[in-house]
Structure 1
């Protein structure tokens, strides 16, 4: 590990009520991450009863699952641009409404077509949250704790997924005999959506967004709420100095494509987005019960066992938050892709060596899946969203994060659509061997392209990008 590079001009962060106010902002905003996690994880346990009630095939299972994820790709791309134009806070409030309406449409859906409409609405909200919430947190956070503060959103995501797995297991055990039990699983989503809407109405706008839109006094007022007075004034001056160097016009994608420096950092964000997904993590999060049934568990036992990856994801997220401000981003990514690739190879080997009917097969595969999810969450998931929110200059941050998240969601959706058919054709072993090859390619990309961003202000990172 190398020592973080901190600007000498900023006074210490200090302790006091401003730290508690900053913490409250993070808690409320992270409800967006919680909804992201719940809505992507709930399909894991809802899919089989949904299949029975609606008569889904492997193809339509993939459509029902991936419709949310394809829509999330659009939501990520649009959400970044909307937040650039209308504000981070305003966009999150609108996303809360979308989460609420989408959950109601799914709960009332009488057919696959209506279900897909509801899943698309939820997907737009999930994608928007995946882009806007990390940027909002990153722009409010002081550089000393930006990694751990921004990383709370990823912890909220996996906490939402764990909540979905637990709710699914409880409802499956108690109400599994009901045809509409999956509707109750989705209805739970409406509660945090309402809390996010009401909470964000009282939260401040991003001070960096306010400066970028000529609202200096409002930006100073926000910083004075979440910093000491001395730190607020010094930080505002640093933000304004960079803002004065920018072109006043908002950067468009065409502008980025013509600028070699901006294009290079955009391609880095796209590569990270693709790399994080080709590990196959969401094959476990969406189809974990299916994988465990395929490995030899009974259906109800698989629903309960599926909670284990959710638990290890949360524990890994807690460790990742501790690491974010202590371990370099590049080191974290190298460890993550290395460990997940090893786990993927071992899952493939285990499914080949241990034949169906062998009592050891389901236990061994479950242990390896848990190890894979733990490595993924500890070293990759938190690091990805934090790094994506850090590496882009302010004038293209919404666009850059949106494009990186779009690439992430498109890869995610493609795998979600293909996974049931893939497992049916080549089995667990062939599927996870394929993930291992792609994970090795992602490791090579990180070693080649990823810049180090830990411990540096967003303005210092921007100076580096614009003078390359």
Structure 2
């Protein structure tokens, strides 16, 4: 029997520390998923209680996205001013307040205010959580730990569907919305045990504190190396402004980041996340059956996100993204065609199967790509500024999708809705096929050169 040497014990301790800190921060991703997904079931009971029209239902859903746009834009200056940890503490408090206010809302107006608050927290966390995890993680664990945020989002969505089904029989929409308090309070308490981001401390001239923070998750040699890397990156970033994103050298990467973010939303994924039970109910399913079907859709999203995380470094970005997007487009046209068939027996079950396939293909391609591609196609010095373009595109289009779903179904039928999303997806697929390079195992300089070559071809 062998015993672990002190260095091995220390390494395990550091690994446990960074995993624990990343998990606490990634609860922001779980809350992101839960608060966006739970409205799909709750809306079936909120609408009759408050006598909401289709337009009012859409605004209740979309109000969260208004907050998310503001949160994503406002979090950047805030996180640089007060720090990553402090910003996360503020966001978790807002998550808690929004969940409580949602559960207690006496009117539609109060519910909308609560969802705007939740949106502020979601938009902010979509920026701050990956940033914080990336800045505390050792290089060997950074990719997997940052990807944990996306996985937690899918777990949050799946959990919200399970909770929705659990309270479907009683119509307890207030419980559905209010249970988000549990992870938000856990996150709030846990954050007080974490260190501040070493990179932020370094930007404030607190080099010794930055090194001490790194030593919680890095060996001494790795901590010193990381500090040197941060200093070099900060010097590079200071040379660039947002105006530089328009220069010819960076334009191909910016356009690609925009195209991935736009395609991610324009295939209608959040129409499915927010309105799946409503769509299935309109196809003849009862409330409980429609919500149970959405659980299967959420499970497909979560499971295939896990599989994609395992495969992304083996198969590559380009095959997964292009192959998955092609399946998404084909399924969208197929779903639209289902509504044209006369008197289809079991239409609800066929739609459920189609939506599960759609969500699985999306999760394994566009679901990961919006964050991964944006993190790989930009030079390090402008990555933060450039990724903001994709983030604002994501939330802006998410808002437009969420506020138009029921209106488009009434105007164009469900067939028209799915086919419009399919056409958008087809345009995005063609653009990505022509312009997306493979980024697996390639240097940033090589990727940048490849992008310029494609744009000039």
TM-score by length of 1: 0.87
Matched position secondary structure for 1:366? helix
Match among 238, 249, 258 for residue 270 of structure 1: 258
Go from structure 1 to structure 2 and tell me whether the alpha carbon gap of 1:167 and 1:430 turns closer, same or farther (over 3 Å shift): same
User: Displacement of 1:40 after TM fit?
Assistant: 0.3
1:341 partnered with 2:329? yes
CA offsets 1:126-156 (integer angstroms, 9 cap, x no match): 1111121122223333444433221111111
Instruction: State whether residues 72 and 128 of structure 1, in contact with CA within 8 Å, keep that contact through their aligned partners in structure 2.
Output: yes
Match among 321, 339, 344 for residue 351 of structure 1: 339
Instruction: State whether residues 340 and 372 of structure 1, in contact with CA within 8 Å, keep that contact through their aligned partners in structure 2.
Output: yes
Q: 2:198 maps to which residue?
A: 207
CA offsets 1:145-194 (integer angstroms, 9 cap, x no match): 43322111111111111111111111112x22xxxx21121111111111
1:421 partnered with 2:407? yes
Alignment partners' CA distance in 1, 2:248 and 2:197: 28
1:188 partnered with 2:174? no
Go from structure 1 to structure 2 and tell me whether the alpha carbon gap of 1:465 and 1:222 turns closer, same or farther (over 3 Å shift): farther
Matched position secondary structure for 1:352? coil
Identify unmatched segments of 5+ residues in structure 2: 1-9, 453-457
Task: Give the root-mean-square deviation of aligned CA atoms.
Answer: 2.6
Q: 1:360 maps to which residue?
A: 346
Go from structure 1 to structure 2 and tell me whether the alpha carbon gap of 1:215 and 1:442 turns closer, same or farther (over 3 Å shift): farther
Alignment partners' CA distance in 2, 1:87 and 1:451: 35
Instruction: State whether residues 103 and 186 of structure 1, in contact with CA within 8 Å, keep that contact through their aligned partners in structure 2.
Output: yes
Alignment partners' CA distance in 2, 1:33 and 1:241: 30
Instruction: State whether residues 168 and 287 of structure 2, in contact with CA within 8 Å, keep that contact through their aligned partners in structure 1.
Output: no
CA offsets 1:260-310 (integer angstroms, 9 cap, x no match): 445554443332221111111111110010111122322221111211001
Q: Which has the higher contact order (CA 8 A, sep 6+)?
A: 1
1:241 partnered with 2:222? no
User: Displacement of 1:465 after TM fit?
Assistant: 6.1
Go from structure 1 to structure 2 and tell me whether the alpha carbon gap of 1:303 and 1:426 turns closer, same or farther (over 3 Å shift): same
Q: 1:36 maps to which residue?
A: 32
Residues 109-118 or 51-60, more deviating: 109-118
User: Displacement of 1:387 after TM fit?
Assistant: 3.2
Go from structure 1 to structure 2 and tell me whether the alpha carbon gap of 1:147 and 1:341 turns closer, same or farther (over 3 Å shift): farther
1:409 partnered with 2:392? no
Q: 2:6 maps to which residue?
A: none
Instruction: State whether residues 80 and 401 of structure 1, in contact with CA within 8 Å, keep that contact through their aligned partners in structure 2.
Output: no
Q: 1:100 maps to which residue?
A: 96
Instruction: State whether residues 79 and 402 of structure 1, in contact with CA within 8 Å, keep that contact through their aligned partners in structure 2.
Output: no
Instruction: State whether residues 280 and 348 of structure 2, in contact with CA within 8 Å, keep that contact through their aligned partners in structure 1.
Output: yes
Q: 1:126 maps to which residue?
A: 122
Instruction: State whether residues 139 and 207 of structure 1, in contact with CA within 8 Å, keep that contact through their aligned partners in structure 2.
Output: yes
Identify unmatched segments of 5+ residues in structure 1: 1-13
Alignment partners' CA distance in 1, 2:315 and 2:11: 23
1:331 partnered with 2:331? no
Go from structure 1 to structure 2 and tell me whether the alpha carbon gap of 1:368 and 1:153 turns closer, same or farther (over 3 Å shift): same
Q: 2:7 maps to which residue?
A: none
Alignment partners' CA distance in 2, 1:164 and 1:404: 26
Residues 222-231 or 425-434, more deviating: 222-231
Instruction: State whether residues 317 and 439 of structure 2, in contact with CA within 8 Å, keep that contact through their aligned partners in structure 1.
Output: yes
Residues 109-118 or 221-230, more deviating: 221-230
Alignment partners' CA distance in 1, 2:226 and 2:391: 28
